[in-house]
Amino acid sequence: MRFPPSLAALVETCWRKADVPAEWNLARDEFQAALERSAAYRFGAAQPLQENLIRAYLETLNVRELALARACSAGNNAAWDFFMAQFRPELYRAARAIVGNAGGGESAARDLADSLCADLYGLREREGQRQSLFDCFHGRSKLGTWLRAILARRHVDEIRRARRTEPLEDDTGEPRAEIAALASASPANVLPDPEQASYMAILQVALAAALNALDPRDRLRLAYHYADDRTLAEIGRLLGEHEATVSRKLERTRRDIRRSVESALRHDKKFSDEQLRLCFQYAAGQWPFDLTASLRHSGIQAGSQAEPSALSTRD
């Protein structure tokens, strides 16, 4: 993808925002190429592409870290030294948290982090060109978030190779939730979107707040329907309402929740339309939110979970 001349001013704004140190030896044209590659990754080969979409996308990028990744990929020593000073301690901390007490402890954690550093630097070559994992960073998330996602995936892949038929357990014998969730994903040969975990976490906080703000009777009606899996007729008998009234009020409550969540994401988190779309898309794919726990104080003790489609219905 090549940007049209009409985006030159926006590219210049991104360049100034990145504030690339001279010692990184990153030319403006190389920086623009990184922006174009990021946009191509996001939008694919769809043509013609509306410029307003590209503009909105570029404004969300972490351009400083994208520039750092590009300079490191190009083999600039000053950029690499900066990366190692800023991010290697974070990598070690993240690796220790992912590995935990099992599987070799501190030594395994350092090996996990160091192997990632080696691939970031680019020890492998293809057709005479050094291949750096930095080429896969597109600035859509923070660099630290992206690195943690890769560490987690690599750890899961290693567990898969070593224990293909055994359950993933921690040292208490219980499944490790963060690893089990990653392990349940299809083993594709692509990196996970590093934004997905953060979007899901933000969405869950917003949804929990929306549920807590509901009228107690609306919350109880939701609990009967989604947590206790009762029919509309059963809920009507319990609450003294007609079946049609229960259906209408459930639909109104779903719309209220949707509006509340969207408002929180737009105004508190400054989400764009595209970020909102991705957020709900991720939720539809894998939804770990436990509605029962959030509605427990309503007196319902069922153990099921809400489906994302139930809370994402539009008018």
Please write the tens of the pLDDT for every residue from 77-111. 999 999 999 999 999 988 888 887 555 678 888 88
CA neighbor of 134 nearest in space, from 68, 203, 202, 188:
68
Q: How far apart are CA 204 and CA 294, in angstroms?
A: 11
131: confidence class by pLDDT, cuts 50, 70, 90: confident
Q: How far apart are CA 171 and CA 233, in angstroms?
A: 46
Q: Is the pLDDT of residue 288 over 80?
A: no
pLDDT confidence of residue 298: 43
181: confidence class by pLDDT, cuts 50, 70, 90: very low
Q: How far is CA 87 from CA 91, 145, 202, in A?
A: 6, 11, 24
Using an 8 Å Cβ cutoff, are 178 and 166 in contact? no
Reduced 3-state DSSP string for 182-204: HHCCCCCCCCCCCHHHHHHHHHH
Using an 8 Å Cβ cutoff, are 120 and 134 in contact? yes
Mean pLDDT in residue range 226-233: 79
pLDDT confidence of residue 176: 46
Mean pLDDT in residue range 207-218: 87
Neighbours of 160 (CB within 10 A): 12
Residue 293, token pair as written in the block: 């726990």
Q: Is the pLDDT of residue 157 over 90?
A: no
pLDDT confidence of residue 315: 33
pLDDT confidence of residue 83: 95
Which residues on adjacent β-strands are paired with residue 31?
Answer: none
CA neighbor of 208 nearest in space, from 78, 297, 137:
297
pLDDT confidence of residue 156: 79
Mean pLDDT in residue range 214-242: 85
- Taking only the tens place, the pLDDT of each residue in 262-285 is 999 998 888 888 788 877 776 765
- Taking only the tens place, the pLDDT of each residue in 35-86 is 999 998 888 755 566 788 888 889 999 999 999 999 999 999 999 999 999 9
Using an 8 Å Cβ cutoff, are 140 and 42 in contact? yes
pLDDT confidence of residue 62: 93
Q: Is the pLDDT of residue 184 over 70?
A: no
Using an 8 Å Cβ cutoff, are 246 and 234 in contact? no
Return all residues near 48 (Cβ < 8 A) that are at least 6 apart: none
Angle (CA) 49-20-42 rounded to 5° is 25
169: confidence class by pLDDT, cuts 50, 70, 90: very low
pTM for the predicted model, two decimal places: 0.53
User: What sections of the chain are H helices per DSSP?
Assistant: 8-18, 28-43, 51-58, 63-73, 77-99, 105-121, 143-162, 177-183, 195-212, 216-222, 232-239, 243-263, 273-285, 291-294
pLDDT confidence of residue 129: 67
CA neighbor of 156 nearest in space, from 135, 131, 187:
187
308: confidence class by pLDDT, cuts 50, 70, 90: very low
CA neighbor of 235 nearest in space, from 246, 244, 245, 227:
246
